[in-house]
A and B are shown apart, each in its own frame.
Chain A
């Protein structure tokens, strides 16, 4: 496993323009390839803001964000969108899926917006559908569900579909934002194990953000947002 740096933040400073006093101030933060990071942050600590910055939908006031060697902060907005599509998979807290698409089409959504991930998925699975099916099977979803609408799935099933969407086409970075908070304890562990296992298989670096420290076991590193953003961890976050 090469120890190249996948996420690198330097002297980052971000403040919401509404001026509610909240800010992020990260002197330095690094994640290396293949690492599984648990980032602890209670609600309101700026997790969403950090995710927005890493996803390239927010731009810091100062500082640099470098993903896979590309300086995100220097790219144009459309290039940041493309970078996100090609290299980053997201799993959110809940309601991760597009209600009017089937399970398979929700998984393939990532490939619709990224030619790179479409090609990589086809290379891995033979066809897009086969690769989606392979991932769904790995995530313990029955074949019978694939063509169904997503609204009939349980929350746990929905989160696994979302994980498959984040993983298809093997993006280098998977960012999970409280993906287990809507699950009961037992299912939380099962989901975590599946997600971590699939990230390992795909060679993706996992950044897992949660307010629940009990989930930190099994990660390579555990950090708290307050520790990487010491100067202004206080205040109301978005």
Chain B
């Protein structure tokens, strides 16, 4: 048996000889691999960033709806709550002897598309993200006065706010809002350090401030003829009537199911308490369908790329019958012809996969910051994960199997032709 190395060298030189056509197929394979790995990476980073968004919280409590919906608005600040919960319900939760701490959240307003969170100082004290990291200030301090605001890192960076700047909140969510709380501007007093979670995209104010800006509002619109100037709001009772959700930390994690059951069954109004981990799993089940569809589509694109590769190698085969006959005449076995042609397809597949990885790294480096700015999704340049490695392995395995076809065809040709190619 001829050693493999000269044979592979021959395959490489043959491929180089047809570098233009093979180069185009190589590019197609590389782009399809980039797409496949890109989808996988976005999927992974999205999951990661969701999982990082909440840590140390034992229960998330809101009005009764679906756990996924509650997680979406309370933790990820996506979408809106259909119902709020009464202040009394919140007080009952906060005073439950099993509860160590609770963070009230009041949602519904926004600032240039960024969600506004009405909360208490417990937020800065107890909120945890990632690996149980606490929030840190990159500038300023928590809110103290009624119209103080603390910005997430991204809000401050995108809108160019610094402590001392003034901003106006909009009623409702969405980038363009007709109803603005122009009469009650807020002052930036603090900016949080970046966390890579929805906190970065949030504007934090006190619950009292949320109450105050809606004093002269009813049913989502300013009351005609009624205007309460900012300086007089303190004369009113600013205790909130309703909040949207509560993040709860327990004294003992062992009590979590009992507290959850109590909240779900024995509260004065219909509440829903969920374990963040469980709700996340449910969320993944929903999102999983879309993820799998995306992955399937990109896998199809890879299949198209590899089919193109096989077509190109097969098409070149008819022009190479003489070459195969020459190789046979100097002693090449049909099996070596098979290896030669299979190696060519495999060679292009492997190079395409490597180029795809390089392209992905380049794209991540170039577009990562853009994606983070627009979608709040941190896609960092990093070494390929084991999942991505498995995908790459699958691509190369499919490439190998596909390359067996031109290899087999060449094998048949070399058996039929022998030393005299039939052209």
Contact = CB atoms under 8 A, between A and B. Distances in A.
Interface string A109-131: 11011100000000000000000
B332 interface: yes
A81 B418 contact: no
Nearest to B323: A98
Nearest to A52: B418
B299 interface: no
B13 A109 contact: no
B420 A81 contact: no
A86 B331 CA distance: 8
B326 A96 contact: yes
A98 B321 CA distance: 11
Given A81-B333, A86-B331, A48 B322 contact: no
A238 B322 CA distance: 16
A57 interface: yes
B17 interface: yes
Interface string A168-205: 00000000000000000000000000000000000000
B166 interface: no
Contacts of A86: 331
A113 B332 contact: yes
Nearest to B333: A81
A112 to B, nearest CB: 5
Contact of B13 (A84, A101, A114): A101
Interface string A155-176: 0000000000100000000000
Contacts of A110: 330-331
Which of under 10, 10 to 19, 20 to 34, or 35 or more describes the interface residues of B? Answer: 20 to 34
Contacts of A109: 326-327, 330
Which among B322, B330, B420 has the highest number of chain A CB atoms within 10 Å?
A: B330
A38 B10 CA distance: 35
A81 B422 CA distance: 20
Contacts of B335: 78
A209 to B, nearest CB: 12
Nearest to A114: B331
Interface string A81-122: 110111000101001111111000000011011100000000
Contact of A90 (B323, B336, B419): B419
B419 A52 contact: yes
B6 A112 contact: yes
A112 B420 contact: no
A216 interface: no
A113 B420 contact: no
Nearest to B12: A100
Contact of A48 (B13, B327, B328, B420): B420
B2 interface: yes
A89 to B, nearest CB: 8
A141 interface: no
A68 interface: no
B335 to A, nearest CB: 8
Given A90-B330, A99-B17, A238-B420, 15 more contacts: A48-B420, A55-B419, A58-B418, A81-B328, A85-B331, A90-B419, A92-B325, A92-B326, A101-B13, A109-B326, A112-B6, A112-B330, A113-B327, A113-B331, A113-B336
Interface of B: 2, 6, 10, 13-14, 16-17, 322-323, 325-336, 418-420, 422
19 contacts: A52-B419, A55-B329, A57-B418, A57-B419, A58-B418, A77-B333, A77-B334, A78-B335, A81-B331, A81-B334, A84-B329, A85-B332, A98-B323, A99-B17, A100-B14, A100-B17, A101-B13, A109-B327, A112-B2
Interface of A: 48, 51-52, 55, 57-58, 77-78, 81-82, 84-86, 90, 92, 95-101, 109-110, 112-114, 165, 238
